[in-house]
Amino acid sequence: MTSFETRVVKTWDPSVFLRGVFLVLLLAGSSVISFFEVKETWLRISGSLAFIIGLLGALSQSFIRPKDLGVLKIDKTILKIDLADSEKVFSIPELREIGLNYRGYASFWKFSLLWNKNHIFFTTLSGEKYDYEIVLENKQKKEELQEFLTKLGNANTIRSKKFGNATL
């Protein structure tokens, strides 16, 4: 493999206020439905609606698709980040280190069902640090990137780093 290409994305991070609203609706609705013996029909219906809205709101945050920002391309000589408003090109010999923070490619319990927050990071010889969230759709893409970064580190004087459960 001589190059690797993937998308650069930004995952939506809901506000603490929004999370709090969904949590309050979920707890209030479930307590009205389950714990209190409410005789009024309108109160049971409104409790059920609050529970359903809270549940759907809490679960739907994982289904929001990450926003595409651009494309990341790596080959043996350059690392190119092509964003919508800018393009950055780095020569591989100008990099001090390159690494992958791998957190999975699909999981209900981690961040997003569409993809997870996988980050590729690198430091230039001048000390500038860059960190981009990337998409790894499946295990094959993850293994391709890990293999490519390992070969890149062995062929050059770049340190390969890993975080999460990446195996570089």
What pLDDT was estimated at residue 139?
Answer: 77
Q: What would you report as the CA-atom Rg of the chain, rounded to the nearest whole angstrom?
A: 22
Backbone φ and ψ for 33, nearest 5 degrees, come out as -75, -45
Rounded Cα distance, 137 and 20, in Å: 31
CA distances from 88 to 15, 28, 85, 158 (A): 30, 49, 10, 19
Rounded Cα distance, 144 and 111, in Å: 23
What pLDDT was estimated at residue 89?
Answer: 92
| Beta-ladder partners of 122 | 98, 130
3-10, strands of its sheet edge to edge: 87-91, 78-83, 67-75, 3-10, 129-134, 118-124, 95-102, 159-164
Backbone φ and ψ for 79, nearest 5 degrees, come out as -120, 120
Contact 98, 149 (CB under 8 A): yes
pLDDT in tens, the chain (168 residues): 678 888 888 877 777 888 888 889 988 998 888 888 888 888 889 989 999 988 888 777 767 777 889 999 998 888 999 998 889 999 888 888 888 887 766 544 444 555 567 888 888 889 999 999 888 877 788 888 888 887 777 666 555 565 555 544
> What digits encode the pLDDT tens for the residues 13-33?
777 888 888 889 988 998 888
- Residues near 135 by beta carbon (within 8 Å), at least 6 away in sequence: 6, 7, 9, 66, 115, 118
Rounded Cα distance, 74 and 121, in Å: 12
> What digits encode the pLDDT tens for the residues 119-140?
888 888 899 999 998 888 777 8
Q: pTM for the whole thing?
A: 0.68
What pLDDT was estimated at residue 62?
Answer: 67
Cα torsion 76, 81, 87, 89: sign: negative
